[in-house]
């Protein structure tokens, strides 16, 4: 979706290092989400935001934190990366009130 971009698209890092992934949207949507996608588990929600500075945990939030200081940006941080956090991470946005979510193209993160 052209209205939502993720950076970086690929990253390789070492265990114990901090990592921040960025999601940027140009649609002025209220809701933003971070998912991880792993074989056998499908897409699982990590954290979500329902407005600037308003965030909440999803089903797999341990080891992750998020921040949303502006409507357009939603950051996902791994404070101290572990090998179990190797995954493909997707960001999504929604205008709310029953509107569907639209996804970015993902970040492939490898933690060695």
Interface residues with another protein (CB under 8 A)? 1, 31, 33, 40, 42-45, 48, 50, 56, 58-60, 90, 92, 94, 96-106
> For another protein, which is the closer residue by CB, 12 or 80?
12
Rank residues 11 and 102 by Cβ distance to another protein and give the closer one.
102
Phi and psi of 49, rounded to 5°? -135, 135
Residue 46's nearest CA partner among 90, 96, 82, 100 is 90
Residue closer to another protein by CB (options 14, 105) is 105
Least separation in angstroms between residue 16's CB and another protein is 28
* Strand, coil or helix: 82: coil
Q: Is 39 helix (H, G, I), strand (E, B) or coil?
A: coil
């Amino acid at each position: 979706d052209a209205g939502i971009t993720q950076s970086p698209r690929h990253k390789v890092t070492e265990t114990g290092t901090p990592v921040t992934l960025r999601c940027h949207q140009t649609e002025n949507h209220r809701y933003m989400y971070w998912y991880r996608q792993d074989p056998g588990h499908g897409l699982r929600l990590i954290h979500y935001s329902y407005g600037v500075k308003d965030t909440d945990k999803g089903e797999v939030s341990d080891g992750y934190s998020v921040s949303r200081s502006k409507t357009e940006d939603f950051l996902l941080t791994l404070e101290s990366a572990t090998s179990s956090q190797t995954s493909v991470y997707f960001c999504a946005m929604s205008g709310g009130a029953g509107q569907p979510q639209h996804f970015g193209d993902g970040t492939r993160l490898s933690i060695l």
